[in-house]
Amino acid sequence: MAFLSRFFLISFLFGSVFFSCVKDQPEPQPLVLEEPEPSERVFVVNEGNFTSGNASISLYNRKNNEVQEDQFKAVNNMALGDVAQSMVLINDKYYIVVNNSGKVVVCDKNFKLSSNITGFMSPRYMLQVSANKAYVSDYKSGCISVVNLSNNALSHSIVLPGWTEEMVLLHNKVYVCNVNKEYAYVIDPSQDKVEDSIWVGKNASGIQADKNAKLWVLSSGDFAASPARLSLINTSTHDLEKSFVFAANREPFKLAINGKKDTLYFIDKGVCAMPVNAAGLPDVPLVTSGQSHFYGIGVHPITSEIYVSDALDYVQRSHITVYSAMGSKKAEFKAGINANGFYFE
């Protein structure tokens, strides 16, 4: 899934140590390359208000704590659309999924409009699965849409009944969350064919791959007969390795992972952090929400800073708070209405 070209680069040159008659011969030292400097730019995806057509993308500068509002409208002199759901960079272009407008907006890195991909019913997330192909999940259509990246047009679809959400590409397979079903589905992208399903409980919407190339799926349950759970999937066997069950009063959502892929984060009465090797669910949040309405979360892949949006009253501009990996407040700023996610350049 989804999901992106930001990695730590550390190279070590190892050599065998040979003893010789030269007493002062220095022992070879490993060469350590500096980690790349994190980009200053963080994009905030703002849904706007349903049917109001006021979706937007905010640009936050990490270095000077400044925000530029509605990047798309500022460049193109037109509205982005109704309900921005997600954003991804593919082939040096931004693809912004606009849910209630039934389209994916394609623009260059300066946000100049390139094209609109239409024909969707209610698109949610986009995932590149090969050099010239991407998948788009959907709330209403009962299928995964296949986009030809060569001409940025809808090509065909893969039947998958239910509300499909986040996706991950791993080991040449695409894993798809399905809110309406109790399973995560496995698609072979070389054939555009559903080939397996894995039980993960009700209302599965968040999925992340960890450092061990295993998958975590967050299912929110149905708040009545089926509790929320966090499932660990072995991608070699498609077996369910672990299933952590939440207490009845817990309502987790929005699964994220850090750049090292060793710590999961999700919203549940605040921001909860959970190492992938943990024996159980966290008892208390890393950051408590208090009276805030936490709505979106993202973790910077290099700095491990945690970005959390507070939707406030769901009408005014969202309040964004940036925390360190340890949960201390570092910065705060305003973004657009109903900020639901982040894209880290």
**Separation of alpha carbons 96 and 102, rounded Å:** 11
| Confidence (pLDDT) at 68 | 95
**Beta-strand relationship, 294-299 and 306-310:** antiparallel
Residue 342 domain-assigned (yes or no): yes
With H, G, I as helix, E, B as strand and everything else as coil, classify residue 76.
helix
User: Tens of pLDDT along 99-114?
Assistant: 999 999 999 999 999 9
Residue 193 domain-assigned (yes or no): no
Res 27 pLDDT > 90: no
pLDDT-derived band at 225, boundaries 50, 70, 90: confident
Across the range 236-251, mean pLDDT stands at 93
pLDDT-derived band at 31, boundaries 50, 70, 90: very low
Residue 136 domain-assigned (yes or no): no
Sheet bearing 253-257, strands edge to edge? 253-257, 263-267, 270-275, 287-288
Across the range 298-316, mean pLDDT stands at 97
| Confidence (pLDDT) at 174 | 98
Residue 281 domain-assigned (yes or no): yes
Residue 81 domain-assigned (yes or no): no
Regarding predicted confidence, which is higher, 31 or 51? 51
User: Tens of pLDDT along 209-218?
Assistant: 999 999 999 9
Residue 261 domain-assigned (yes or no): yes
Res 22 pLDDT > 70: no
User: Tens of pLDDT along 152-188?
Assistant: 999 999 999 999 999 999 999 999 999 999 999 999 9
Across the range 15-27, mean pLDDT stands at 37
Query: Which residue is associated with the tokens 């040096």?
Result: 92
Residue 295 domain-assigned (yes or no): yes
User: Tens of pLDDT along 279-301?
Assistant: 999 999 999 999 999 999 999 99
Residue 283: domain span = 252-345
Strand partners, 129: none
* Both structure tokens of 235: 């991608």
User: Tens of pLDDT along 69-100?
Assistant: 999 999 999 999 999 999 999 999 999 999 99
Residue 151 domain-assigned (yes or no): no
Domain count for the chain, please give it: 1
